[in-house]
A and B are shown apart, each in its own frame.
Chain A
Amino acid sequence: MGKRVAICAVAQIKNEGDLWYARFQNMLKECFESIMGQTGVTFDMEKGIRNVITCSDDVFDARTISDNGMTDVVGAHFRGEEKMAQESINGLGYAMACILSGHDDVILYMGHCKESQTESRRMNMNLAFDPFYCRPLGMDFINVNAMQARAYMKKSGVRDEHLAKVVLRSRANAKKNPFARENAAVSEKDVLNSPMLADPIRELHYYPVTDWAYGMLLCCEERVKEFTDNPVWISGYGSSIDSYFLGDRDLLSNFSLKNAAERAYKMAGVKDPKKEIGVFELCDHSAYQMPMWAEGLGIADEGAGGKWIDGGGMEKFNVNTSGGMLNGNPLLLGGAARAIECFHQLSAEAGERQVKGVKKALAHGTYGAAGQHQAVVIMEKGR
């Protein structure tokens, strides 16, 4: 294709358990002002932002057309504004399409979610299921993920001890991330004794309720110098969705993740992800997903997730230096959080978490029950 899309700047607030004292408009405004300050971008109709993409969810916001509550804050009046009501990582894919198609030069991309607003996020998740066959049974992402976890752990030799390791590592990495949710320190014993939510998923195996917002500025290759000297490039994007009904899917196949990864690798010209990609940021809603997604992306051998953890796979491939979704990002926004960590790593701004010499990074997002939808973005160091 020859053309590339640049991420010029990113901004985020700290992930928090309960931002009850901040409206989501406030949360977004902090990010918005940071982006404007970092890049000097304007809303000039010729040269500035003419299209804004936002990511939010009607059910979490408890209002229809959740994006209409923040169009003024993100400067969308008299401009194009499109909402990504799916995993935020697809907003990057969409921004990329807007720019590569020549439709837009500059895209502001913002997202928010306050999981703490709802009395029970599980009830929200229940609404993702059809009202005839699934909702009445009480299906939600946690109990459906639990069935995938059971099957996967058996297939790939992943034990409770492995999951404890994933949780401990997530918390340790998050400690080094100033934007990560501050969670209580836990020991291996704490995780192993954590109460079951839905067997075999324990409470500490699932990401905690989190509030967060972010912003990014993307632009075309030709104009990147106007906004930054240190861009990060998006060179590949792939997205895939598996069948809707659980019974129609092979929960162990990683069907949609393999599909998404294959497309992203191909677009970015990645032949061997193990060698070429220096940082992997995975959306692990639950601890079992860390080795499972690693298999799907090709950095762990098929059916060998347990061994991969034992063999130091998470360290070797620099997986989830941010702490990952498991440490706490809101639903929908995990992919954006992953991309922002990749941006910091590729810009050599990751502080204590910095991986040396990273040239390419992979950001992953997943949404739906048992990883039904998967998307992968490949990002590269600027020049």
Chain B
Amino acid sequence: MSLEYDKKDCFIVDGKLALPYTYFAGRVGSKFITTIRDQKKIMGVKCNTCGKVFVPPRQTCERCLEDIRNNWVDVGNTGEVVNFTVVRYNDGHLPRKAPYVLALVKLDGADTPFAHVLDGLKPEEVEIGMKVEAVFANETTSTILDIDHFAPSRKKKVQVSDRAPAEKAPAAAKTKHQPELDERRKAMSKKVVITAALTGAATMKTQNPAVPYTPQEFAEEAYKCYKAGAAMVHMHAREDTGMATHEHARIKATHDAIKDRCPELIVNLSSAVGMGKTPEQRISQIVHIKPEMASLNTNTMNFSIVDRKTGKIFIDFVFENTFTMLQDFGKAMEENGVKPEIEVYDMGGLDNTLLVMKQGFFTDPMNFNFVWGVAGGQAFRPDAFLCLKNAIPAGANFTTCGVGTDQFQAITMSCLVGGHMRVGLEDNIRIPTGEMAKGSYEQVEWAVRIAECQGREPATPDEAREIMGLKKR
């Protein structure tokens, strides 16, 4: 029977099942994947009863029912193509753009062929029986894609490769140096990333009524900044009273309110939070919320509230950022996909960073923020700026912010020498005329004008992501 139903006024509801999961790979699976990741080595397990070597490995031989979980054997990284297809369609579950080759590869030391992507040759060049070897991913995802693909054998040492793009799969932006990426970055050099630091921990509504406290106020202010040309907002969450808070729920509510109002914007959280917070309080909220970016402070320093005219100290405070915190916070951020914005208050802080970066946990490109005018840090001087710029690693990005009147001087300098700009009520409550800023957005408008004078354009959030190496949303 045909369904001869009326089709008038029939309504279709859109739906989507997108359920992020974590799967435990099992003890056997965990060892298999971590060995690939850490040692660039493929292991299988052998059944001593039937002699079969399984890749991927299992706990039990399905034929002999022997427990084989500890019978690890090195099966080698080379093998032979025993079957393949060329995937000619694009789809959301595919790791590559079409056409790509999916092959069954029998590794030299294994008995079970193993499916993987075959690359490094044209689809029409693939032949059954050809010798291939594993090419390991430069960047780990701790999945089977830590073998990026198999390629025709070249009898070199271990081959490594950067991730090839998929049609819809998330692009991996955290890559080590590669020429084509540098070229793209060059083309982006006209773009300037403008950040609005909506509040710090200290600026209050009594100083400028536009300072946001509630999530809704943050969201509105962020939206105005985005409209004015900002690609990123930096924030310290506040309670309704204006007190800086380390409460996860409040920080998350504020972060989410901004993302809901303005999904495109990059939100950069503070790992300083406010005075008197413990290291645990400072980093746990970042790990919990996993913003795209967060500040990472590089040295222990005085961070005081002073009267600039009289030189009197009102609140004397030591902002603690030990080497251990620099290292632990940095690792926690990178492990959770949060790109650190490395806060440099003076040359010593930069040197601290250059020291710990030898441990290798920072992903490229590194992003620095030169901070001027903190009572306890250094005041803005153009030659000091150039010293910092010249001392950061090749390929790293830099932006800058300055407290009070240092703000617009510093960002003008940064824009002039190829860096980016941060404004906002966290650092300064006024505009260059000396009038009270109507909000951070008004300072963004000034920053856009500075960029225009120098023939540069504000970067969109996605362009900023590309420049700073953030994962695509």
The answer to whether A21 has its CB under 8 Å from any CB of chain B is yes
The answer to whether A2 has its CB under 8 Å from any CB of chain B is no
Of B2, B10, B95, B117, most A-chain CB atoms within 10 Å: B2
Cβ-defined contact, A22 with B143, below 8 A: no
The answer to whether B251 has its CB under 8 Å from any CB of chain A is no
Q: How far in angstroms is the closest Cβ of chain A from B253? A: 29
Interface residues in A8-27 (C-beta closer than 8 Å to B): 11-14, 16, 19-22, 26-27
On chain A, the residues within 8 Å of B115 by CB distance are 133-134, 137, 139, 144, 246-247
Interface residues in A309-365 (C-beta closer than 8 Å to B): none
User: How far is it, in angstroms, between the C-alpha of A245 and the C-alpha of B112 when the chains are bound?
Assistant: 9
Q: How far in angstroms is the closest Cβ of chain B from A21? A: 5
On chain B, the residues within 8 Å of A197 by CB distance are 88-89
User: How far is it, in angstroms, between the C-alpha of A131 and the C-alpha of B112 when the chains are bound?
Assistant: 19
Q: How far in angstroms is the closest Cβ of chain A from B51? A: 15
Which residue of chain A lies nearest to B101 when distances are taken between CB atoms in the complex?
A: A199
User: How far is it, in angstroms, between the C-alpha of A115 and the C-alpha of B411 when the chains are bound?
Assistant: 56
A137's partner among B1, B3, B15, B102 (CB-CB below 8 A) is: B102
Interface code A22-65, partner B: CB below 8 Å = 1, 0 otherwise? 10001100100010000000000000000000000001001000
On chain A, the residues within 8 Å of B23 by CB distance are 131-132
A22's partner among B3, B25, B102, B117 (CB-CB below 8 A) is: B3
Cβ-defined contact, B145 with A136, below 8 A: yes
Cβ-defined contact, B93 with A133, below 8 A: no
Cβ-defined contact, B56 with A138, below 8 A: no
Which residue of chain A lies nearest to B84 when distances are taken between CB atoms in the complex?
A: A147
Cβ-defined contact, B143 with A136, below 8 A: yes
A126's partner among B21, B93, B104, B112 (CB-CB below 8 A) is: B93
Q: How far in angstroms is the closest Cβ of chain B from A208? A: 14
On chain A, the residues within 8 Å of B84 by CB distance are 147, 150
On chain A, the residues within 8 Å of B112 by CB distance are 245, 247-248
Interface residues in B11-41 (C-beta closer than 8 Å to A): 12, 15, 17, 21, 23, 25, 29, 33
Cβ-defined contact, B88 with A199, below 8 A: yes
User: How far is it, in angstroms, between the C-alpha of A318 and the C-alpha of B91 when the chains are bound?
Assistant: 37
User: How far is it, in angstroms, between the C-alpha of A144 and the C-alpha of B83 when the chains are bound?
Assistant: 10
Cβ-defined contact, B95 with A136, below 8 A: yes
User: How far is it, in angstroms, between the C-alpha of A131 and the C-alpha of B143 when the chains are bound?
Assistant: 9
Interface code B82-98, partner A: CB below 8 Å = 1, 0 otherwise? 01111111011111100
Q: How far in angstroms is the closest Cβ of chain B from A93? A: 23
Which residue of chain A lies nearest to B116 when distances are taken between CB atoms in the complex?
A: A137
On chain A, the residues within 8 Å of B94 by CB distance are 138
Cβ-defined contact, B85 with A147, below 8 A: yes
Cβ-defined contact, A135 with B114, below 8 A: no
User: How far is it, in angstroms, between the C-alpha of A197 and the C-alpha of B106 when the chains are bound?
Assistant: 24
The answer to whether A151 has its CB under 8 Å from any CB of chain B is yes
Interface code A146-158, partner B: CB below 8 Å = 1, 0 otherwise? 1100110000000
The answer to whether B376 has its CB under 8 Å from any CB of chain A is no
Cβ-defined contact, B102 with A143, below 8 A: yes
Cβ-defined contact, A20 with B10, below 8 A: yes
The answer to whether B309 has its CB under 8 Å from any CB of chain A is no
Task: Check A135/B93 contact, CB under 8 A, given A147-B102, A247-B115, A251-B83.
Answer: yes
Cβ-defined contact, A13 with B3, below 8 A: yes
Cβ-defined contact, A132 with B95, below 8 A: no
Task: Check A30/B3 contact, CB under 8 A, given A122-B89, A132-B143.
Answer: yes
On chain B, the residues within 8 Å of A195 by CB distance are 88
User: How far is it, in angstroms, between the C-alpha of A131 and the C-alpha of B93 when the chains are bound?
Assistant: 12
Cβ-defined contact, A21 with B7, below 8 A: yes
On chain B, the residues within 8 Å of A144 by CB distance are 115
Cβ-defined contact, A247 with B93, below 8 A: no
The answer to whether B368 has its CB under 8 Å from any CB of chain A is no
On chain B, the residues within 8 Å of A137 by CB distance are 95, 102, 115-117, 144-145
Q: Tally of A-B residue pairs with Cβ under 8 A?
A: 124
The answer to whether B183 has its CB under 8 Å from any CB of chain A is no
The answer to whether B231 has its CB under 8 Å from any CB of chain A is no
Interface residues in B74-133 (C-beta closer than 8 Å to A): 83-89, 91-96, 100, 102, 104, 106, 112-117, 123
Q: How far in angstroms is the closest Cβ of chain B from A227? A: 20
User: How far is it, in angstroms, between the C-alpha of A183 and the C-alpha of B201 when the chains are bound?
Assistant: 67
Of B87, B92, B113, B144, most A-chain CB atoms within 10 Å: B87
Which residue of chain B lies nearest to A243 when distances are taken between CB atoms in the complex?
A: B62
User: How far is it, in angstroms, between the C-alpha of A123 and the C-alpha of B92 when the chains are bound?
Assistant: 7
Cβ-defined contact, A20 with B88, below 8 A: no
B91's partner among A26, A62, A120, A133 (CB-CB below 8 A) is: A120
Q: How far in angstroms is the closest Cβ of chain B from A130? A: 9
Q: How far in angstroms is the closest Cβ of chain A from B25? A: 5
User: How far is it, in angstroms, between the C-alpha of A30 and the C-alpha of B2 when the chains are bound?
Assistant: 10
On chain A, the residues within 8 Å of B5 by CB distance are 21-22, 26
The answer to whether A198 has its CB under 8 Å from any CB of chain B is yes
Q: How far in angstroms is the closest Cβ of chain B from A84? A: 22
User: How far is it, in angstroms, between the C-alpha of A19 and the C-alpha of B114 when the chains are bound?
Assistant: 39
The answer to whether A87 has its CB under 8 Å from any CB of chain B is no
The answer to whether A295 has its CB under 8 Å from any CB of chain B is no
The answer to whether B54 has its CB under 8 Å from any CB of chain A is yes
Cβ-defined contact, A151 with B83, below 8 A: yes
Q: How far in angstroms is the closest Cβ of chain A from B117? A: 6
User: How far is it, in angstroms, between the C-alpha of A123 and the C-alpha of B2 when the chains are bound?
Assistant: 29
User: How far is it, in angstroms, between the C-alpha of A126 and the C-alpha of B91 when the chains are bound?
Assistant: 11
With A21-B5, A150-B83 known, 20 other A-B pairs at CB within 8 A are A13-B1, A26-B3, A120-B91, A120-B93, A123-B92, A123-B93, A131-B21, A131-B23, A132-B23, A132-B144, A136-B145, A137-B95, A143-B102, A150-B84, A197-B88, A199-B88, A245-B112, A246-B115, A247-B113, A247-B115
Could you pull out 22 A-B pairs where Cβ atoms are within 8 angstroms? A19-B3, A21-B6, A21-B10, A120-B92, A122-B91, A123-B92, A123-B93, A132-B33, A133-B56, A133-B115, A138-B87, A138-B93, A147-B83, A147-B102, A150-B83, A196-B86, A198-B87, A243-B62, A245-B112, A246-B104, A246-B113, A247-B106
3 A-B pairs with least C-beta separation: A138-B94, A146-B85, A247-B112
Residue positions of A touching B, CB distance < 8 A? 11-14, 16, 19-22, 26-27, 30, 34, 59, 62, 120, 122-123, 126, 131-140, 143-144, 146-147, 150-151, 195-201, 243, 245-248, 251
Residue positions of B touching A, CB distance < 8 A? 1-3, 5-7, 10, 12, 15, 17, 21, 23, 25, 29, 33, 54-56, 62, 83-89, 91-96, 100, 102, 104, 106, 112-117, 123, 143-145
